[in-house]
Structure 1
Amino acid sequence: MARRLGLAIAALILMAAAPSWDWRSPAGLRPSRVPSGNPMSAAKVELGRRLFYDADLSVDGTMACATCHEQHRAFADGNAAHAGVHGDPGRRNVPGLANVAWLRPLTWGDPRIGSLEAQAAIPVTGTAPVEMGMAGQDAEIARRLSTDSCYPAMFAKAFPGDGTIDFEHVAKALAAFERTLVSFDTAYDANGRGGRTAMPSEAVAGSAVFDRHCRSCHSGPLLTDQKFHRIRSTPGPDAGLGEITRRTEDVGRFRTPSLRNVELTGPYFHDGSAKTIADAVRLHPRTSDLRDAQVMQIVAFLNSLTDRHFTMDARFSLPEFTCGK
């Protein structure tokens, strides 16, 4: 009994010692789940922010995370897919990163990638396809970052007691930064809080059309059910979820994308085959028979999901100062 009481008190002390992170999320959305082995801290977020913009994480120094995830595009990149450092064609469209802290799973077709820490390895060290080209280069990553004038101090501050510069800690810092990419400052959100004039009348009309045809999958605060669906009667060459499960019924299924900031994250679908939002609406089986006026109403509604502040927030931009200089 005394031992259990002591453990309970210790747990309370630890909870009190670790202040909760301000997620700036709307009512009704629980705080993001953070792995116990990678708690949030301002120092870790700042380290991750610098690493996010550092091309030394690619084999030839030409590609950073931010190369494919551009802030002014809500951290997408505007291409159907992005080639890797050796010219390998990208397999799938680069998703935006708004509110990625709440997304599970994290990729178009692989439900096994459930943490941002694990996801970081895909572009940096992945081989199918090669993106940043650092497979087997853990020692080189450590060497490059260790010779920087600021990283040793930043790693030590971000990971007190174990400031080892290695890819494990790089991934944790990147994940911490990405969890801060919160985006809920839109006309749609203002309208939901009672600002009835926040959305144009056409967007309000589009919201009603969207509710009837789209809301079953693009649901909740994130506007995604986070499930895998097939929207094409004849799957293309990319098997999607079926590539992982090897089940025939999963071939051509892809995760429902969040629609927040969708105005900025085109082209659309997993292969970037729809150049505009209107194209995507017309190609989707649930909305393919809508009249042109209804399509444009949905487009107006989806444009109300754009968070301009998110695209200009200095906390997410390339750091202007490092080590206080």
Structure 2
Amino acid sequence: MNRASLILIALAAGVVATAAARPAAPQPSAWQWDLPEGIAPPPVPADNPMSQAKVDLGRRLFYDADLSIDGTMACSNCHNQRRGFADSTRTRPGVHGDAGRRNVQGLANVSYLSPLTWGDTRLTTLEQQAMVPVFGDDPVEMGMLGQDAELARRLSADGCYRAMFLAAFPETGGRVDTPAVAKALAAFQRTLLSFDSPVDRRQRGDAGALTAEAKRGEALFGAHCASCHAGQDFTDRQFHALEDPAAAMTDTGLAHATGQASDRGRYRTPSLRNVALTGPYWHDGSVESMGEAIARHARVLPGNVLTQERERQDIIAFLHGLTDQRFATDPRFAYPDGICLAYRAD
């Protein structure tokens, strides 16, 4: 049975529950999205409504290395805020030294993206995806496969976590289990919204938000790149093969999940939000710079004529215009120092 199936079964079963039943707490208040005019809220599953308590819990879990088998790796180790919640390495090894398969993608506006990964159409919700690094074994990342009870024991031993789970999940009496962890992590990730880049501000009417160079790059991008890097998050969410599929020997792309030879070497178009922060690039992190990435596209896509250095520099200027500095420094997304002061700890 493959990794994704194991994870989905674990989430459906929800068998690990170690916290004692507690008195019912007040129901969470309705969530207010902080979005520019004209931007629709991201989809939220009916069984995981948003609340501040749930977001706070997910944020603390996101930065907690107790989610890994040896206490050395948190979600934030691979998803660094100042790098657009991506990583600076080509591929990040797991807790046991297993080589990572793919480059870490940024999390800006991840709540709008489905499917969610480089190479698996089945992972369509943040609740599913949150468990892949924690419990997955293909490759091993955080190494907790089969350790649901241990995870619940660790979290339940912390008085602050007991209070936070109760506030986040009053309907279960604050039960600490794997499904609740997944829901809280997903809720936090849904708040990672990025709509304040110069390109966003230009689209909202700020004519001076982009330099002349970036405006030239915007036109070139629209002509040569936007068929795949489309929409508000600059991805068509489709899977494409940019190079000879026969060369995809170590990582077969989408075929690794589907088993279909026609999917060999196909990867989902990554979002370009905060792309200047999220390098290195390509599914395997083998491209060090945006200029190299543009040149590589020009080599492998028929009809792509971006061969002139000035054209590349103009597009790079436009791509820098996708950097949302507020997102990269927003204290609401940072390590939650002192967050327990807001919750009763026994």
SS in 2 for 1:199: coil
- Taking the aligned partners of 1:280 and 1:21, their CA distance within structure 2 comes to 38
Aligned to 1:50: 60
Correspondence for 2:287 among 274, 277, 289: 274
- 1:293 and 2:313 matched: no
Q: What is the CA distance between 1:31 and its match in structure 2?
A: 1.8
- 1:211 and 2:252 matched: no
Query: Does the aligned pair in 2 maintain the 1:222–1:258 contact within 8 Å?
Result: yes
Query: Does the aligned pair in 1 maintain the 2:30–2:51 contact within 8 Å?
Result: no
Q: What is the CA distance between 1:233 and its match in structure 2?
A: 2.6
Q: What is the CA distance between 1:320 and its match in structure 2?
A: 1.6
Aligned to 1:248: 261
Distance 1:304 1:194, change over 3 A: same
SS in 2 for 1:150: helix
Q: Which amino acid letter does the alignment assign opposite residue 164 of structure 2?
A: M
Aligned to 1:61: 71
Query: Does the aligned pair in 1 maintain the 2:31–2:52 contact within 8 Å?
Result: no
SS in 1 for 2:165: helix
Q: Which amino acid letter does the alignment assign opposite residue 220 of structure 1?
A: G
- 1:302 and 2:323 matched: no
Unaligned runs of 5+ in 2: 1-27
Aligned to 1:200: 211
Q: Which amino acid letter does the alignment assign opposite residue 296 of structure 1?
A: Q
Q: How many residue pairs were aligned?
A: 308
Q: What is the CA distance between 1:25 and its match in structure 2?
A: 4.9
- Taking the aligned partners of 1:98 and 1:183, their CA distance within structure 2 comes to 6
Q: Can you list the C-alpha shifts for 1:182-210, whole angstroms capped at 9, x where unaligned? A: 00101001111111111011000000111
Q: Can you list the C-alpha shifts for 1:233-264, whole angstroms capped at 9, x where unaligned? A: 34422111122222222111100000000000
Moved over 4 A (4+): none
- Taking the aligned partners of 1:227 and 1:25, their CA distance within structure 2 comes to 26
- Taking the aligned partners of 1:256 and 1:268, their CA distance within structure 2 comes to 12
Aligned to 1:10: none
- Taking the aligned partners of 2:276 and 2:338, their CA distance within structure 1 comes to 31
Distance 1:152 1:288, change over 3 A: farther
Unaligned runs of 5+ in 1: 1-16
Q: Which amino acid letter does the alignment assign opposite residue 209 of structure 2?
A: A
Identity %: 53
RMSD: 1.4
- Taking the aligned partners of 1:23 and 1:168, their CA distance within structure 2 comes to 26
Report which stretch shifted further, 239-248 or 265-274.
Answer: 239-248
Q: Which amino acid letter does the alignment assign opposite residue 236 of structure 1?
A: A
Aligned to 2:248: 236
Query: Does the aligned pair in 1 maintain the 2:103–2:285 contact within 8 Å?
Result: yes
- 1:126 and 2:136 matched: yes
Correspondence for 2:81 among 71, 95, 100: 71
Distance 1:23 1:232, change over 3 A: farther
- Taking the aligned partners of 2:259 and 2:275, their CA distance within structure 1 comes to 31
